[in-house]
Structure 1
Amino acid sequence: MPLCAGAVQAANSAKPNIVFILADNLGYGELGVYGGGILRGAPTPRIDALASQGMRLLNFNVEAQCSPSRSALMTGRFSMRSGTYAVPVGGQTDGLTLWEITIAELLSGQGYRTGMWGKWHLGSAEARLPTGQGFDEWYGIPRTYDEAMWTAQNQSNSMWPSFGNKQGWNADVVAPEPIYEARKGQKPRQVGTLNLQARLTMEAGITDHAVAFIQKNAREGTPFFAYVSSSMVHMPVLPNPEFAGKTGNGDWADCLAEMDARTGQILDAIRDAGIEDNTIVIFASDNGPEATDPWQGDSGPWRGTYFTATEASLRAPFIIRWPGRIPAGTVSNDIVHIVDMYPTLAAVAGAKVPTDRAIDGVNQLAFFEGKQPHSNREGFPAYVADRLSAVKWHDWKMHFIWQENMYDAPITLAEPRIINLLTDLKEERDVGAKASWLATPMMKIVYDWEASLKKYPPIKMGTPDPYTPATSRH
């Protein structure tokens, strides 16, 4: 006999809501609680307070670029598996195949309402937009914020000087990026065009949509997954006019202040809706800091920029709050990877992860809740695009390819370089000759990874739909 509507609603209300705020290119050293804040020109009181109310990770790891990290979050799979290992170049088939099962699809299957706002970066074709990949609603852009600069390339000003070539950007040659509103089962509706003016108000729009979604579902007693894909602090780093000049320390600091305030709006919406105790809030970043002048970010104690395998690229801020379940004020330096969010959030919702494919993430719920002292992850292989560049294991790292800045040429090392990440935060000293035993556990990660690629052949970048997995090789 089917459950009555009241029983279904009661069962659903027991499931915790999930709000995942993913900052864009926010370096390790930006937030006050990670040693930034006023040192970067703007305090971050709301995010700092969130950290004191839950768990803060010092060794949360992401992939080296935007699309790969977002793919890893959505699928629980390293991006090399799904053909999303690099930011796509214009003109190619991009994004996740429809064969992938996203976390939004898993949560939808458990009765969650799912919403996403901001940059998707996992497919530009209509079928591959968020509402084709498990989300009930979406507001944002399919690709990336730097396309906002196209309309300014022929303007003569201090930030974007003229290139001195009449063959500048032309909308008839390459169309501007659309801003969409979309609902599952309906054709996406273009509500704007991404230009510099629209860029200024994107964060406000993202926040307003997220707040409305939280309020609506709280009123209805429906569990929800809110994926807030923040536009801050991706280049061009430009604040909303409401925040321009607020810090007196320039655009970058103003944007940091705006990001903190927008996060506060979302936290206030959760509190005011009376659902704070039954809502998991996660604040994280998809990448290390920006490397492009004049928007360079800060990597804190680490070396490098994103688009590399340095710690500055791989380590990102991560805060998780779940009142009564995750002990407040917890700090850990254990390794956690963004792929781990997939099985962890699935476990929270009572969903089962797929068994017909490789899932690289591990469930970290018991670790987060303080039921065990350490993470369930010892290490991972680190790719930059399609290059296996390094491997991490506990407090050690082995580099196969060295690249410090995204604009540097990657150099294949004659011998792998082993770094002690506790004594050498800048990754300057190779200790391999003194601790050659480390090669065994670290290379095991590599060999196991390579074996899994044989068992589950990876999807090639640019693969169109429909996709059928190749026969696995044992």
Structure 2
Amino acid sequence: MAAPTGARRPNILFIMADNLGYGELGVYGGGATRGAPTPRIDRLAAEGLRLTNMNMEPQCTPSRSSIMTGRFAIRSGTYAVPFGGVPEGLTAWEVTLGDALSAAGYRTGLFGKWHLGSTEARLPNNRGFDEWYGIPRTTDEAIWLDSPGYDPSIISPEPILEGRRGKANRTVATYDLDQRRIIDGEVTKRTVDFLERAGRQGQPFLACAFFTQPHLPTLANPRYAGKTGNGEWADMLAELDDNVGTLIDTLDRLGLRENTLVIFTSDNGGEFIKPWDGWSGPWRGQYFTALEGGIRVPMILRWPAAITAGRVSNEIVHGADIFPTLASLAGAIVPSDRPIDGIDQSGFITGHIAKSAREGFPIWCGNRLQAVKWRNFKAHFYKQDTMRSTAERRNVPFLVNLYTNPQEDEDKSWSGSWVLAPILKIVRDFEQSTLRYPLIPMGTPDPYHP
């Protein structure tokens, strides 16, 4: 489906938080109850569509991979956060969201966290983005320099990089705890600069502001330290809300409000490691698990030219749907030579279709098919309550009706085994697709050819 009648191809401002739990924002039950109201993000929700059943993969790298390619990360060898020792990230064979929209005439920029490859060839400016600034991997590496025994001659500290298409990346700074506090402010500043330049040129754009908050260590910008009086987490939440507000104000100031699709979401469920653990609202679990708290995230979309304000929907959407949906709206080409697991949801988000185009999806934790979600039902094939728990294979699937058992409480048995028919069909369909299109192993170097 192309852009709705009467609307031009939209500009796209894609804002993503890192490990922001479902229950953190005011409009999702958090905000003031977490020590910091979130008025700007709440207003954004009131001006567009708020999803209550948006689902991601349960780790950072897999979720970002599925967003960028429209493919479940298990297909791309990006099914888990990489810990070194092998080539990491997306092979050059994968077509990214940046590739697709650039080919369709969009100006593209990505600012913030990447986590899909840290070698030169796999960084954003070589993966479809005209420019980028940020960290190639993850925020917990900022702790390394203050860790007893750390030796940079063994493994170098993470750099903050900037680069432009076709040119070598440049190291801006070392990502230490001081930089950790200020990086989201810089992401905001650079995204604003990109929006101003793109707005003057009149070229449609994809601007990705991929914030690092609230990923551990959750440390607010010094300008926000102590601002709420309710601790570091609340200070961070106030900062995040203000940064989003700054980006929205920039669109309005530039006269880009009407035909810019703004997306706000999180890459996966809430932070688990104490004392920075987040809140999943009504759901149990956090990232690295197949529980709802690991995969269900906030998702807000505003596009005044095409999305009716004040809509709320509990229809199922998955992160893999972002690629084909944005490609459809932008008039971009979705690859046809590989399985695309995402589904075009443009008709649903614009209100032309009441129902989501998706009914369910498989859930991998690492390379384990851990569960399947279908409508309001779920089958767990493994028991795993936290990222540190051993995943125990179940003799029979644990079946959940999320309407009656939203906490996925093991003590609440449910005998609706009929749901295994559509659930196992999802499994069979995926397995059949791998016979023709084998999975790419993790650590696969370039060049890769299927």
* Short-chain TM bin: over 0.9
Q: TM-score, normalised by structure 1?
A: 0.92
Aligned to 2:187: 206
Q: 1:430–1:335: structure 2 CA closer, same or farther, 3 Å change rule?
A: farther
Aligned to 1:61: 55
Query: SS where residue 216 of structure 2 aligns?
Result: coil
Q: 1:224–1:413: structure 2 CA closer, same or farther, 3 Å change rule?
A: same
Q: What one-letter code is carried by the residue in structure 1 that aligns with 2:415?
A: K
Superposed counterparts of 1:76-95, under 5 Å: 76-95=70-89
Q: What does the per-residue CA deviation read over 1:82-119, in whole Å, with 9 as the maximum and x for residues that have no partner?
A: 00000001232100000000011110011100000111
Distance 1:110 1:185 in 2: 18
Aligned to 1:378: 359
Quick one: which of 197, 201, 223 aligns to 1:220? Answer: 201
Q: What one-letter code is carried by the residue in structure 2 that aligns with 1:87?
A: V
Q: What does the per-residue CA deviation read over 1:141-198, in whole Å, with 9 as the maximum and x for residues that have no partner?
A: 11001000011113xxxxxxxxxxxxx1011111111111100000001110000111
Quick one: which of 120, 131, 140 aligns to 1:146? Answer: 140
Distance 1:19 1:59 in 2: 21
Quick one: which of 156, 170, 189 aligns to 1:175? Answer: 156
Would you say the 8 A contact 1:289–1:299 is kept in 2? yes
Per-residue deviation, 1:437: 1.2
Would you say the 8 A contact 1:32–1:48 is kept in 2? yes
Query: SS where residue 418 of structure 2 aligns?
Result: helix
Per-residue deviation, 1:14: 3.7
Per-residue deviation, 1:428: 1.2
Superposed counterparts of 1:398-417, under 5 Å: 398-417=379-398
Quick one: which of 424, 428, 443 aligns to 2:409? Answer: 428
Q: What one-letter code is carried by the residue in structure 1 that aligns with 2:34?
A: R
1:107 and 2:124 are equivalent in the alignment: no
Per-residue deviation, 1:223: 0.7
Aligned to 2:330: 349
Aligned to 2:419: 438
Q: Tell me, which stretches of 5 or more residues in structure 2 are unaligned?
A: 1-6
Would you say the 8 A contact 1:417–1:431 is kept in 2? no
Identity of aligned residues (%): 54
Aligned to 2:123: 129
Superposed counterparts of 1:306-317, under 5 Å: 306-317=287-298
Would you say the 8 A contact 2:161–2:170 is kept in 1? yes
Would you say the 8 A contact 2:110–2:207 is kept in 1? yes
Distance 1:95 1:182 in 2: 18
Aligned to 1:164: none
Would you say the 8 A contact 1:277–1:322 is kept in 2? yes
Aligned to 2:175: 194
Per-residue deviation, 1:430: 7.4
Per-residue deviation, 1:433: 6.1
Distance 1:342 1:130 in 2: 16
Q: What one-letter code is carried by the residue in structure 2 that aligns with 1:112?
A: Y
Aligned to 2:11: 17
Query: SS where residue 230 of structure 1 aligns?
Result: strand
Distance 1:353 1:295 in 2: 38
Aligned to 2:304: 323
Q: What one-letter code is carried by the residue in structure 2 that aligns with 1:40?
A: R
Would you say the 8 A contact 2:405–2:412 is kept in 1? no
Would you say the 8 A contact 1:418–1:430 is kept in 2? no
Superposed counterparts of 1:3-42, under 5 Å: 14-42=8-36
Q: What one-letter code is carried by the residue in structure 2 that aligns with 1:200?
A: R
Which of these two proteins has the greater Rg computed from alpha carbons? 1
1:229 and 2:223 are equivalent in the alignment: no
Superposed counterparts of 1:254-333, under 5 Å: 254-333=235-314
Quick one: which of 376, 380, 390 aligns to 1:395? Answer: 376
Q: What one-letter code is carried by the residue in structure 1 that aligns with 2:375?
A: H
Q: What one-letter code is carried by the residue in structure 2 that aligns with 1:248?
A: G
Distance 2:196 2:411 in 1: 53
Distance 1:299 1:388 in 2: 22
Q: TM-score, normalised by structure 2?
A: 0.97
Would you say the 8 A contact 1:326–1:369 is kept in 2? yes
